[in-house]
Amino acid sequence: MHLSSFTLRRYPRFAAAAVAAIALACFLAGCVGGRKVEDPVKAFAQAERAEEARQYKKALELYSAVSASVSDERGATAGFRAAKIQARKPKERMAAWTATRGVIKKYKNYGYPVLKEARAYEKQLADQIDRDNSDQVLYKALDTLVALTGKHRFSYWIAILLATIIVKLVTWPLQNLQFKAMKDMQRVQPLIKELQKKYKDNQQEMGRKVMELYKEHKVNPFASCLPLLIQMPVMYLLYLMIRLYQFQFAHGTFLWIGSSLSDLTPMIAPSLAERDIPLVVIYTVSMYVTQKLTPVDPTQAEQQKMMSIMMPLMFGYLFGVLYEFPSAFMLFWLLLNVFQIVQQHYALKPAPDAQAPAPAPTVPPEATRRPRPRSRKRRR
């Protein structure tokens, strides 16, 4: 993630807030369920009556409460019926599909009859969502890239690669500006270290001297923020494109994804539409590498070292464990990180004749003393 590899390094307070927000999201997603009821049997009957009376909002609330209260066949049925009610609104169909998958995953080891109906409904809902998305421009753009190679099972990851290359070419000049600002910061780091040692007991004075140093060497510590902000909408559009095309990725494979290994362990995805743990691990490593290549601010070295480890692990957990993002999405971010590493390596690589700016010469104390007047010889 490019945002975490630069912005979080420069602003430790923002980084701490981001980690706290992600941790809270993990807690809420994993530990906090819906409203529970004391009598699930009574609540289930009330939900059925409300559904028959077409009071769908009330039925949805009651079914959701029953599903959160019990973990038996009644809970599975209530969760599935809540998803079906939710799918009545076109904008809620994706959430309903996710809820249906959640019911199937939670009760997959049980032989409840409702699970067979839920699996059929999951496929039906996925086809409906895909038809709805097919009218979108971004969907058609990615479908065109897939069609370039004949829509074979390998065409889908090639389409992701082509889309990533196009986006990278668009954002390349902006990222060069961002890396130029990083390189300027890297150039003055030896001088910042000297100031840090000299004014270690006076943080306020050190901050003032650092800003004077930036001004003297024409370094803007915030110069890379604007290129980063401009890139974010482009990255989001590519992400949205992949999300709209998500159900088509069920036909795609990539190296080990979709191979016979997927039959041996659930960690290997059967298609690009499913989560793949090895791909998440590789993505996490690539994110760590991008952060290690980023110049370190000497004044925040310890915090940045901690963040370079925590942030990749946190995002890896979010994408691979908590939300189980499709491997097509992870492949997109992995390719972006690979291109980022190559560009960052050459952009931040110091020139052979490059030298750090020399510190201002200091006048020794002896030179500040006034010379003693030479004594005149007495004339005889």
Q: What is the largest CA-CA distance in the chain?
A: 132
Average pLDDT, integer, range 81-99:
90
As a whole number of angstroms, the distance between CA 175 and CA 314 comes to 24
Give SS3 for 125.
helix
Q: Quote the tokens at residue 191.
A: 């001088």
Task: Give pLDDT, residue 120.
Answer: 92
Which of 196-200, 244-248, 280-284, 376-380 has the least mean pLDDT?
376-380
The most confident of 121-125, 221-225, 285-289, 322-326, by mean pLDDT: 121-125
Closest CA to 87 of 56, 44, 58: 56
For the chain, what is the mean pLDDT? Answer: 76
Helices of type H across the chain: 2-10, 12-31, 40-52, 56-69, 73-86, 93-106, 113-133, 137-147, 155-187, 189-198, 203-216, 225-244, 277-293, 301-317, 327-348
Q: Evaluate whether the domain defined by 33-133 bears CATH number 1.25.40.
A: yes
As a whole number of angstroms, the distance between CA 45 and CA 91 comes to 28
Q: Of all residues in the chain, what percent carry a pLDDT higher than 70?
A: 70
As a whole number of angstroms, the distance between CA 293 and CA 283 comes to 16
Is-contact 162 147, C-beta < 8 A? no
> HSE (CB half, 13 Å, CA atoms) of 286?
22
Q: pLDDT tens, 282-324? A: 988 888 887 777 665 555 566 666 776 777 788 778 777 777 7
Radius of gyration of the chain (CA): 29
Residues 6+ apart with CB under 8 A from 252: 153, 154, 155, 156, 157, 258, 271, 272, 273, 328
Q: Quote the tokens at residue 218.
A: 């024409």
Q: Is the pTM of this model over 0.95?
A: no
Is-contact 96 87, C-beta < 8 A? yes
Q: Quote the tokens at residue 141.
A: 């753009």
Q: Quote the tokens at residue 237.
A: 């559009």
Where do the domains of the chain lie?
A: 33-133, 150-348
> HSE (CB half, 13 Å, CA atoms) of 228?
19
State the pLDDT confidence band at 325, using cuts at 50, 70 and 90.
Answer: confident
Long-range contacts of 333-339 (CB under 8 A, 24+ apart): 333/1, 333/283, 334/279, 334/282, 334/283, 334/286, 335/160, 335/161, 335/164, 336/2, 336/164, 336/167, 336/168, 336/235, 337/283, 337/286, 337/287, 337/289, 337/290, 338/286, 339/164, 339/165, 339/168
Is-contact 336 344, C-beta < 8 A? no
Is-contact 254 157, C-beta < 8 A? yes
Task: Give pLDDT, residue 129.
Answer: 92
Distances (CA, A) of 68 to 31, 54, 60, 64, 88: 11, 22, 12, 6, 21
Q: Is the pLDDT of residue 335 over 70?
A: yes
